């Protein structure tokens, strides 16, 4: 029996994409937003000297993931029939949040440590991947 790795990987990616419906993505987005809010509002503020981003800026950034999580979970309950539109909205909101984060990184670059820069760059990369997936799913 001959095992074809590329065929196996292709099938697994197809199965993953098949399961990523708008509701699942909104749950993932909401849980990720809660994780971001906790990271920004609790962890990074407690260790401000290690990350370098000013506390006021961190609290400002924390408000967005909190609002996004509320939007995600309320939309799942209320908008069950039109989740693709909700998914597009949150995708563009996430993209705007990435732009704001990049602007604030630029504004506070001199204060940021390598750990702070790494945190924000990883968050932006993850969010852009999520935005791409959300938009692909929303426009299917």
Which DSSP string corresponds to 101-119?
A: HHHHHHHTTTT--HHHHHH
Helix or strand (DSSP H, E) at 44: none
pLDDT above 70 for 5: no
State the Cα–Cα distance between residues 128 and 89, nearest whole angstrom. Answer: 14
State the Cα–Cα distance between residues 37 and 58, nearest whole angstrom. Answer: 9
Residue 1: burial class (beta carbons within 10 Å; 0-12, 13-18, 19+): exposed
pLDDT above 90 for 11: no
User: What are the domain boundaries of the chain?
Assistant: 22-138
pLDDT above 90 for 82: no
pLDDT, residue 10, reads: 47
pLDDT, residue 37, reads: 97
Nearest Cα neighbor of 55 from 66, 65, 41 is 41
Residue 31, phi then psi, degrees to nearest 5: -65, -40
- pLDDT tens profile 22-78: 888 999 999 999 999 999 999 999 999 999 999 999 999 999 999 999 999 999 888
């Amino acid at each position: 029996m001959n095992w074809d790795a590329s065929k196996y990987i292709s099938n697994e990616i197809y199965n993953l994409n098949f399961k990523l419906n708008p509701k699942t993505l909104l749950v993932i987005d909401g849980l990720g937003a809660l994780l971001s809010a906790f990271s920004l509002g609790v962890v990074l503020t407690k260790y401000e000297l290690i990350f370098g981003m000013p506390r006021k800026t961190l609290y400002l950034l924390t408000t967005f993931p909190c609002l996004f999580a509320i939007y995600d979970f309320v939309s799942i309950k209320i908008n069950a029939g039109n989740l693709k539109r909700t998914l597009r909205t949150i995708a563009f909101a996430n993209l705007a949040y990435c732009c704001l984060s990049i602007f604030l990184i630029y504004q506070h670059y001199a204060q940021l440590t390598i750990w702070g820069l790494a945190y924000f760059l990883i968050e932006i990369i993850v969010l852009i991947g999520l935005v791409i997936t959300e938009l692909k799913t929303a426009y299917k």
